[in-house]
Amino acid sequence: MEICPKCGLPTPACVCEQIGKSSQRIRVTNDKKRYGKIVTLVSGFDSTIDIKKIAKELKNRLACGGTMKDGVIELQGEHSKKIKPFLEKLGFDPESIE
Protein backbone atom coordinates (compact mmCIF):
# COMPACT_ATOMS: atom_id res chain seq x y z
CA MET A 1 0.00 0.00 0.00
CA GLU A 2 1.39 3.38 -1.02
CA ILE A 3 1.45 6.31 1.39
CA CYS A 4 1.02 9.95 0.40
CA PRO A 5 4.21 11.90 1.19
CA LYS A 6 2.27 15.09 2.04
CA CYS A 7 -0.43 13.93 4.47
CA GLY A 8 0.93 10.51 5.51
CA LEU A 9 -2.31 8.66 4.75
CA PRO A 10 -2.70 5.75 2.33
CA THR A 11 -3.22 6.96 -1.24
CA PRO A 12 -6.92 5.93 -1.49
CA ALA A 13 -7.69 7.94 1.68
CA CYS A 14 -5.50 10.95 0.82
CA VAL A 15 -7.05 14.30 1.80
CA CYS A 16 -4.46 16.65 0.32
CA GLU A 17 -6.70 17.72 -2.55
CA GLN A 18 -9.71 18.53 -0.32
CA ILE A 19 -7.54 20.58 2.05
CA GLY A 20 -5.98 22.38 -0.91
CA LYS A 21 -9.37 23.23 -2.42
CA SER A 22 -10.62 24.93 0.74
CA SER A 23 -7.57 27.18 1.16
CA GLN A 24 -7.44 28.82 -2.29
CA ARG A 25 -8.45 32.21 -3.66
CA ILE A 26 -9.77 31.57 -7.16
CA ARG A 27 -10.32 34.57 -9.41
CA VAL A 28 -12.60 34.55 -12.48
CA THR A 29 -12.12 37.48 -14.88
CA ASN A 30 -12.81 38.38 -18.49
CA ASP A 31 -10.27 39.70 -20.98
CA LYS A 32 -10.42 40.96 -24.56
CA LYS A 33 -8.05 39.32 -27.00
CA ARG A 34 -7.38 39.94 -30.67
CA TYR A 35 -10.21 41.19 -32.83
CA GLY A 36 -12.39 41.89 -29.77
CA LYS A 37 -12.87 38.26 -28.77
CA ILE A 38 -13.78 37.73 -25.10
CA VAL A 39 -11.84 35.17 -23.04
CA THR A 40 -12.68 34.04 -19.50
CA LEU A 41 -9.64 33.58 -17.23
CA VAL A 42 -9.70 31.36 -14.13
CA SER A 43 -6.60 31.78 -11.93
CA GLY A 44 -5.37 31.31 -8.37
CA PHE A 45 -4.93 27.53 -8.22
CA ASP A 46 -2.29 25.94 -5.97
CA SER A 47 0.18 23.37 -7.21
CA THR A 48 -1.65 20.63 -5.27
CA ILE A 49 -4.65 20.81 -7.63
CA ASP A 50 -4.70 19.12 -11.04
CA ILE A 51 -5.39 22.20 -13.17
CA LYS A 52 -5.33 20.25 -16.41
CA LYS A 53 -8.19 18.04 -15.22
CA ILE A 54 -10.27 21.04 -14.11
CA ALA A 55 -9.66 22.80 -17.45
CA LYS A 56 -10.81 19.73 -19.36
CA GLU A 57 -13.97 19.41 -17.26
CA LEU A 58 -14.76 23.12 -17.66
CA LYS A 59 -14.34 22.95 -21.44
CA ASN A 60 -16.58 19.88 -21.66
CA ARG A 61 -19.22 21.31 -19.35
CA LEU A 62 -19.34 24.74 -21.02
CA ALA A 63 -18.96 23.39 -24.59
CA CYS A 64 -16.16 25.79 -25.47
CA GLY A 65 -12.52 25.76 -26.43
CA GLY A 66 -9.69 26.84 -24.23
CA THR A 67 -6.24 26.16 -22.86
CA MET A 68 -4.14 26.20 -19.71
CA LYS A 69 -1.09 28.50 -19.61
CA ASP A 70 1.11 29.17 -16.58
CA GLY A 71 -1.49 27.97 -14.07
CA VAL A 72 -4.29 30.04 -15.63
CA ILE A 73 -7.24 28.45 -17.43
CA GLU A 74 -8.35 30.38 -20.54
CA LEU A 75 -11.83 29.63 -21.88
CA GLN A 76 -13.14 31.03 -25.15
CA GLY A 77 -16.21 33.19 -24.60
CA GLU A 78 -17.94 34.84 -21.64
CA HIS A 79 -18.55 32.17 -18.97
CA SER A 80 -17.91 34.01 -15.71
CA LYS A 81 -21.41 33.41 -14.31
CA LYS A 82 -21.42 29.70 -15.14
CA ILE A 83 -18.03 28.83 -13.66
CA LYS A 84 -18.73 29.53 -9.97
CA PRO A 85 -21.51 26.88 -9.54
CA PHE A 86 -19.38 24.34 -11.39
CA LEU A 87 -16.33 24.96 -9.16
CA GLU A 88 -18.57 24.64 -6.08
CA LYS A 89 -19.66 21.18 -7.29
CA LEU A 90 -15.99 20.20 -7.59
CA GLY A 91 -15.51 20.98 -3.88
CA PHE A 92 -14.08 24.49 -3.87
CA ASP A 93 -15.25 26.87 -1.13
CA PRO A 94 -17.90 29.28 -2.54
CA GLU A 95 -16.51 32.17 -0.48
CA SER A 96 -13.04 31.76 -1.98
CA ILE A 97 -14.25 32.22 -5.59
CA GLU A 98 -14.23 35.85 -6.77
**Per-residue pLDDT tens digits for 37-52:** 999 999 988 877 788 9
Identify the CA nearest to 30 among candidates 96, 98, 95, 93.
98
Q: What's 81's domain CATH number?
A: 3.30.780.10
pLDDT band at 9 (very low <50, low <70, confident <90, very high): confident
Assigned domain for 7 exists: no
Contact 22, 93 (CB under 8 A): yes
Q: What is the pLDDT of residue 59?
A: 93
What residues make up the domain containing 58?
A: 27-90
| pTM of the shown model | 0.75
Assigned domain for 2 exists: no
Assigned domain for 41 exists: yes
Identify the CA nearest to 28 among candidates 75, 91, 93.
75
Q: Report the domain count for the chain.
A: 1
Assigned domain for 37 exists: yes
